[in-house]
Structures are given as structure tokens and as C-alpha cells.
Amino acid sequence: MEMLEERIRRDGIVRSGNVLKVDSFINHQMDIALFEEMAKEWKRLFSGKPINKILTIEASGIGIAAIVAKEFNVPVVFAKKSMSVNLDGNNYTTHIKSFTHNKIYDVIVSKKYLGPDDHVLIIDDFLANGCALVGLLELIEAAGAHTEGIGIAIEKGYQLGGQIIRGRGIQLESLAIVESMNDQTGEIVFRHNN
Ligand code: 5GP
């Protein structure tokens, strides 16, 4: 998506440790007009799919997912991260290794908000190694719900997540795919499939 790539080129900052900072428009301050354009693009890319729920993970996915939910006119649920899980049987639970914090979190979704009638579109800000998405897919499977697709704002195409998810036959639509980035020069190269 041209608009997102341009914004990343202009305002994204490449940090050492393979981290792309997009705090000025996605991860801290949020550009809602940009999110609305991204949501429209996903609506087009997933048209014809019977999506009735958006699922994301706290915290950074929530802003984008909320705008996507408005575009699809469906509810949005976010999986909650916690250091200790209350095993009371009311939640689906999995573990996710955080790319940015290098910690393992328990992640939960209440059984009240995800179930067999749900046709889910997962939305998240970044795709790196795919740990967050694999965890969310486990929660959907545990709930007996259906994964209709995954929308990612920025995929780091040189990490393995995209390959893992596409290898499972899931429709994955990343609006910008970073082919390479250089923390010395700040240069970011995008991948285009066409
Ligand atoms: P994964 O689970 O795919 O390895 O990593 C995905 C999660 O890590 C995303 O939800 C995002 O919060 C975070 N993340 C991964 N790479 C980056 C990055 O380069 N920049 C930022 N800001 N977050 C990242």
C-alpha cells in the first residue's frame, strides 16, 4: 500500500536490533486517517469473506483493529497478556514470546467473546517471527472459531513469520512488506509481489 510505504519511509526510524520504530503514526501517536485507509484496503482484500469478528492482541494492535472493526461493522476483541493466568476455565489460554520485549506472556481470551460461530479476521501492527499470530491462531482453534484471514500493517519479510503463516494456507495481507532495512543508513527497501 503506497500510502503506508511512503509514511514509513518518511517517519519510520530503523533501530539497531532489527526494530522499526513507527511511534509517530502507529505505536504511540496514532494517525487515524491512515488507519481508516488501511481498514478500507483490508475490506477490499477480504471482500466476500463472512467476517463477523476482529481479533487482535494488546497493546499495539488495538488502535488499528478498532478502526478495522468499524469498517467491517463487527465487534473487536483483543487477547490480553498477563504474567499469571487464573485457570478458572472461563478463558482460552496460550503462551506468546514477545519479539520486542523478549519475554513469554500468557495470553487469554474469554470464552464469552470467542466461539464456534465466529469467523475471525486477525489484525496486528507487525509481523516478525510470527509468534504473536501463531498464539492467536491457537486461541481461535481452541474456541472452535474459523480464521478467515490475517491483516498486518508492516511485515518484516526477511523474518520467518510470513512464510509460516502463508505455509498454513491462510490468506495473509500485509500492507507493507519490508525486504531489508539498514540501521546505519536508515534505508528501508520494500518488497512488491507484482
Ligand atoms: P512476532 O510475534 O511476529 O515475532 O512479532 C510481532 C509483534 O512484535 C508485533 O505485535 C509487534 O508488537 C512487535 N514487533 C516485531 N517487530 C517489530 C518492529 O520492528 N517494530 C515494532 N515497533 N514492533 C515490532
Contact status, residue 91 vs residue 85, Cβ threshold 8 Å? yes
**Quick one: pLDDT at residue 86?**
67
Cα 135 to averaged position of ligand 1 atoms, centre (Å) = 14
Mean pLDDT of 92-118: 91
> What per-residue confidence (pLDDT) applies to 71?
98
3-state secondary structure of 89: coil
List, in order, residues 6 or more apart from 55 with CB less than 8 Å away: 65, 76, 77, 78, 79, 109, 114, 120, 121, 122, 123, 136, 139, 140
Q: How confident is the model at residue 98 (pLDDT cuts 50, 70, 90)?
A: confident
CB of 150 closer than 6 A to ligand 1?
no
| pLDDT at residue number 119 | 98
Q: Which domain holds residue 58?
A: 2-189
- With respect to residue 144, please indicate whether it lies within any of the assigned structural domains: yes
46 found inside a domain: yes
Residue 87 within any structural domain of the chain: yes
Residue 55 belongs to some domain of the structure: yes
Question: Does 194 reside within a domain?
Answer: no
For the Cβ of 131 lying below 6 angstroms from any atom of ligand 1, the answer is yes
- Taken in order 83, 23, 188, 121, is the CA torsion positive or negative? positive
- Give residue 89's pLDDT: 81
| Nearest-atom index, ligand 1, CA of 135 | 2
Write out pLDDT tens, residues 125-134: 999 999 999 9
CATH number at residue 22: 3.40.50.2020
What global pTM score does this model have?
A: 0.96
Give tens-digit pLDDT for 3-39: 999 999 999 999 998 999 999 999 999 999 999 999 9
Number of domains forming the structure of the chain: 1
| Residue whose CA is at the smallest distance from ligand 1 atom 4 | 129
| CB of 181 sitting under 6 A from ligand 1 | no
pLDDT one-digit tens code per residue, 151-183: 999 999 999 999 999 999 999 999 999 999 999
Cis ω on the peptide bond leading into residue 59 (within 30° of 0)?
A: yes
pLDDT of res. 194: 56
